[in-house]
Amino acid sequence: MFSSLQNRKRTNLPNKFNFGHELSFLLHDIMTSLFETAKQTNMFSINIDIYEDEYKKFLENSEDIGKWILNTKEKNKSAKVLKTIVFPALLSDMLHCFYEALETSRKGKLTISYMLIRKPLQESLYLLEDIVLSELNFSDKFKKNAESSELESLEYKKNLKHLEFSSAGGKEGHAKRIEKIFEIMGSNFGLSPEYIAQLRYDKSSEDSFDIICNKAMHLFTTHEKIFTEPLNINMIFSGYSEFETQWAYLYSRLPYLLFYTWIIVEYLTNSIIETSQEYLDDIRRRVSALIILWWNEIDDFYKNEKLESFVGFQEEWLNNHCLKNGYKIPTKNNLIKMFKNGSFPNESKNSIKQRLNRYQDIYKINLLDAKYYEKDVNFKIIDNK
């Protein structure tokens, strides 16, 4: 039933966490599939018209576009180019971290799992948020940092800090940024900006990854909120009861943040090349179905109003989506089938097959188009004469 656990050796994960593991891997796999398809079809390629005489000869004879990015006066264009370079590189690194975190969790190596999720959740995701908020501002900060590298080290460090998550202004600053992101997207998807910020950055709350991730990273922690207990070394003496607590927290919270990561990734991808709405709905059906099943398996101790609101939003969307398309509200059996193949309740096999064939046709067309792109960025030199 759980593809993320099939034919995997050395699995130590208790069955009660299977839905959380499957949901986490589903969200990881959706982003991975998006990334791989984008690479194969050159979705991260971009055509740029160049009007500046001083760069024409240089760009005609060089694949190194760094000089142009740093010096061009066409800032909007350089920002778009930078996005198509930074976004996929960040995404690839994040997905590697998430994959290994889930695999080590499955094997019971939870200290490593918590070490691995810290960077993508706190740092990488912060940069993706920066691009969503304003690709131009992100580009300016990124370029300013590069320009200051030739200056005094203090100036370089100062500019580098503008790219770090600590520059947002604490938990409240992060929450405000996330709220603006939801305004840009036109929906919060049932997610709470304050809770997302808390889970990623709050050392004062026990309901935060920041505490356990820091303890996983360091043998001794001296911050007053995460002080290492007397006669202890962080997390190295964990026994099975501690593992159960660590699994329970991981699988009751990580899917929430992975869902948020996914909608950020989907938004940025759509800003480069638009994705079929039918396909997006198909993927969201699968995710929403598994979210409902996951919620029913979470221990009541780990449930809260923020998570309940999130699940309720997905359930309401899914029910309305099914009714709008002429199908009934899904039962548990329908949900199990839905998260596996995206099927509506009692949808015919022929209908499912036709939809999947349409996705395959679109993929083939994109592959054909990709043959005309030989570089990540294609410059068209415009003669001003």
pLDDT(288) > 90: yes
**Sign of the torsion angle spanned by Cα atoms 287, 291, 293, 297:** positive
Mean pLDDT of 224-231: 72
Tokens of 155: 């100036």
Q: Is the pLDDT of residue 98 over 90?
A: yes
pLDDT in tens, 26-54: 999 999 999 998 888 788 877 777 666 65
Looking at residue 266, what is its pLDDT? 96
- Asked if the model's pLDDT at residue 379 lies above 70, the reply is no
Range 7-12 average pLDDT? 85
> Coil, helix or strand for 162?
coil
357-363, Cβ contacts within 8 angstroms, sequence gap of 24 or more: 358/278, 359/276, 359/279, 359/282, 362/276, 362/279, 363/37, 363/41
Q: Is the predicted pLDDT of residue 8 greater than 50, yes or no?
A: yes
d(CA 370, CA 56): 25
Q: Specify whether the CB–CB gap between 208 and 201 falls below 8 A.
A: yes
Could you tell me if residue 169 is left (phi over 0), alpha (psi between -120 and 50 degrees) or otherwise beta? Answer: left
At 172-223, the pLDDT tens digits run: 999 999 999 999 999 999 999 999 999 999 988 999 999 899 888 888 777 7
Per-residue pLDDT at 140: 86
Sequence-distant (≥ 6) Cβ neighbours of residue 325 within 8 angstroms: 344
296-319 average pLDDT score = 98
DSSP assignment of 253-295: HHHHHHHHHHHHHHHHHHHHSPPPHHHHHHHHHHHHHHHHHHH
For residue 51, give every residue at least 6 positions away whose Cβ sits within 8 Å of its Cβ, in sequence order, or none: 74, 382, 384
**Model confidence at 346: pLDDT above 70:** yes
Tokens 């009660």 — which residue?
A: 16
pLDDT at 173: 95
Higher-confidence position of 332 and 74: 332
Q: What is the mean pLDDT of residues 222-244?
A: 77
Residue 57, pLDDT score? 62
If DSSP codes are grouped into helix, strand and coil, which group holds residue 197?
helix
Residues above pLDDT 90, as percent of the chain: 57
Q: Is pLDDT above 60 for 262?
A: yes
Averaged pLDDT of the chain: 86
Does position 99 have pLDDT exceeding 90, yes or no? yes
The token pair that represents 188 in the structure block: 């919060």
Among 55-59, 147-151, 161-165, 325-329, the range of highest mean pLDDT: 325-329
Asked if residue 363 has pLDDT above 90, the reply is no
Per-residue confidence (pLDDT) for residue 20, from 0 to 100: 98
